[in-house]
Amino acid sequence: MGVQINTETAAPQVEVFADRAEVTRTIASRLLAVLKQAAQSQGMAHVSLTGGGAGIATLEAVAELVREGAEAPDWASVHFWWGDERLLPAGDEDRNETQARAALLDFLVAEQGLPTDNICPMPTSEEAAHPEAGAQIYARQLEAFAAEHGVQGPHGKLLMPRFDVMLLGVGPDGHINSLFPGKDSLSVIGQPTTGESDAPVELGPPLRVTLTFDAVHTARRVWTGVTGADKAEAAAEALVPGADVTQYPAANARGAEETIWHLDQAAAAQL
Ligand SMILES: O=C1O[C@H](COP(=O)(O)O)[C@@H](O)[C@H](O)[C@H]1O
């Protein structure tokens, strides 16, 4: 039997915006509000970042809002994680980390009091010899921030923090994080991370580290940002009730309490 949608999680709500700028500014504004509230009420907030066009544009929008004086969390209480990464040398421009630092994190460290220790990137190729080793290293890092007994995943406890928000992009093939159609990584259960050694070359460097579906499903909120006509078919197929997760992994992009798909009109054209 293939991978099933985890129906214990929140069904997707779909919101359509005019264009990428409206999508990313909406997500950015919501992110600031949720992190502020979470940091105040819990003393600590955790967010999982994504790469890709809309993902990085969202971080640029966060920086823009903060520069404009929007209400923001106490950054000393916010911890940044990643949903996936390319196993490349530190500073490589294809790393999601490198792009996120340039878009937002360097600014938050330099001007907004974000401690560098609160930035928790996935391992580089200097730190891990292969993707599975990288996955193991990141699992240990997540474990260090786990609540005393971990968070409940669909297949048992996972030793990792409870993400207040997980940001996700959706690839033109329907992938999220580095969970690609037809790959073994889709059926990894009971652990927060796994390695991918054969990501489609047309979608970037093939060696990846990714969070698993079980980890995705522990996040309180999962928010996708999906923009552009090349995403229209994947978005429509993933949002069909009972969609095939093996073919369209984004069908299983669901948070424990809330799932919101933020689409622009081009990406929503086939819904
Ligand atoms: O490979 C990746 O692609 C997805 C989607 O990126 P996009 O540019 O098509 O929006 C991204 O979310 C992921 O982090 C990245 O590694």
Residue 200 near ligand 1, beta carbon < 6 Å: no
pLDDT at 1: 56
How far away, in angstroms, is 43 Cα from ligand 1 center?
Answer: 31
Pairing of strands 151-153, 156-158: antiparallel
pLDDT at 149: 82
What is the CB neighbour count within 10 angstroms for residue 162? Answer: 20
One-letter identity of residue 59? L
**C-alpha–C-alpha distance, residues 165 and 124, integer Å:** 24
ipTM over 0.90: yes
Q: Are 217 and 154 in contact (CB under 8 A)?
A: yes
Question: What are the chain's domains?
Answer: 12-264 (3.40.50.1360)
* Residues recorded for the chain: 271
Residue to substitute in 48, 166, 175 for testing ligand 1 pocket (most ligand atoms within 8 angstroms of CB): 175
**C-alpha–C-alpha distance, residues 161 and 139, integer Å:** 11
Contacts of 118-121 with CB under 8 Å at 24 or more apart are: 118/75, 118/76, 118/78, 118/79, 118/80, 119/80, 120/79, 120/80, 120/81, 120/82, 120/145, 121/82, 121/85, 121/95, 121/97
The CA distances from residue 73 to 50, 58, 79, 163, 255, in Å, are 20, 17, 11, 15, 22
Q: Which residues pair with 210 in a beta bridge?
A: 84, 194
Beta strands in the chain (DSSP E): 12-17, 45-49, 78-82, 84-86, 151-153, 156-158, 165-168, 193-196, 208-211, 221-226, 258-264
pLDDT at 2: 83
Residue 131 near ligand 1, beta carbon < 6 Å: no
Taking alpha carbons only, the member of 168, 266, 147, 173 closest to residue 217 is 168
**C-alpha–C-alpha distance, residues 230 and 246, integer Å:** 19
CA-CA-CA-CA torsion sign (61, 47, 234, 135): positive
What is the CB neighbour count within 10 angstroms for residue 216? Answer: 29
Which ligand 1 atom is at minimum distance from the Cα of 85? Answer: 16
Give the chain's largest Cα–Cα span.
51
* Nearest Cα residue to atom 12 of ligand 1: 169
Residue to substitute in 20, 48, 49, 50 for testing ligand 1 pocket (most ligand atoms within 8 angstroms of CB): 50
The answer to pTM > 0.90 is yes
Which ligand 1 atom is at minimum distance from the Cα of 83? Answer: 14
Q: Which residues pair with 223 in a beta bridge?
A: 167, 260
pLDDT tens across the length of the chain (271 residues):
589 999 999 999 999 999 999 999 999 999 999 999 999 999 999 999 999 999 999 999 999 999 999 999 999 999 999 999 999 999 999 999 999 999 999 999 999 999 999 999 999 999 999 999 999 999 999 999 998 888 999 999 999 999 999 999 999 999 999 999 999 999 999 999 999 999 999 999 999 999 999 999 999 999 999 999 999 999 999 999 999 999 999 999 999 999 999 999 999 999 9
Residue 53 near ligand 1, beta carbon < 6 Å: yes
* Nearest Cα residue to atom 6 of ligand 1: 52
pLDDT at 176: 98
